[in-house]
Amino acid sequence: MTKRVISAVVLVLLIVPLLYIGGLPFNILLSALSVCALYEMFHMKETKEKLPLIIKVIAYILVVFLTYNTVNIIDLQYHMDYKIMAFLIFVFLCPIVFVNDFNKYNIADALYVIGSVLFIGLSFSLLVALRNYDLKYILYLALITIVTDTFALFTGRLVGKHKLTSISPNKTIEGSIGGSLMGTFVAVAFYHTVINPALSLVFIIFVTLGLTIVAQIGDLVFSSIKRYYGMKDFSDLIPGHGGILDRFDSMIFVVLAFTMLIGII
């Protein structure tokens, strides 16, 4: 427990100042986190089958490039260059021919790498874009994920009786409801007070409630990945907490969902 608390304090002291400063320091932090997250995706994969070192090195370089893809975007209009997509496909699919050994590198490996680079790169680049646009939106989404997760845990421990899913046996329906209700209440209060009090309160309640559900789905998706590979955590990069993806799983899905709502919220 002490290790978990110390790690949490260190994370807060590291992330909060850089989040407030924004700009290059925050971009560097997100790039580092994206590399760590990709490492964890590969770590999971390599519990069953190793990936060629050169493929991983190229992937780490590209995920940093994708994270920086939105560094100058300040209007929340995300643009993905088709050249990037084409390059990703070529650089990870073509080696199948040259390796010519299904046990060392095959189509399943290539698609896993492509998907991981795109998923991690896109998610962290959207965090960069949101911070460049307005810090308040990052805080709004962070409140959704943190409060929902915290109160889902507490409510589940206090009154949880009905299992939510076999993917994560400790989660309960009662906990899920408690997390969503409290996450919605706190995040809506922040949005209505700090970001845009003119927006319909009913509308923002429904949007925020939906995002609390997405946060829990994101947590379950990553839990499913860990369960498939027979791992408790993505890594031990954060003592007492697991890996980067163990901490950012809900936030990643909330950011992806929120991006689809840009223009109406």
- Report whether pLDDT(81) > 80: no
Residues 118 and 225 in one domain: no
3-state secondary structure of 108: helix
Q: Is the pLDDT of residue 115 over 80?
A: yes
CA distance 138 to 220: 22
Residue 243's domain spans which residues? 134-265
pTM: 0.89
Residues 117 and 138 in one domain: no
Does the pLDDT at position 55 exceed 90? yes
pLDDT at 261: 82
Indicate if 71 and 169 belong to the same structural domain: no
pLDDT digit string, tens, across residues 230-265: 888 898 888 777 889 998 999 999 999 998 887 666
The string of pLDDT tens digits covering residues 173-217 is: 999 999 999 999 999 999 999 999 999 999 999 999 999 999 999
**Shared-domain flag, residues 147 and 124:** no
Domain final residue, candidates 109, 133, 157: 133
Give the C-alpha separation, 131 to 108, whole Å.
35
Whether residues 4 and 118 share a domain: the answer is yes
How far apart CA 247 and CA 40 sit, in angstroms, is 12
Q: How far apart are CA 39 and CA 91, in angstroms?
A: 18
Query: What's the pLDDT tens digit per position in 84-106?
Result: 888 889 999 999 998 878 888 99
pLDDT, mean over the chain:
89
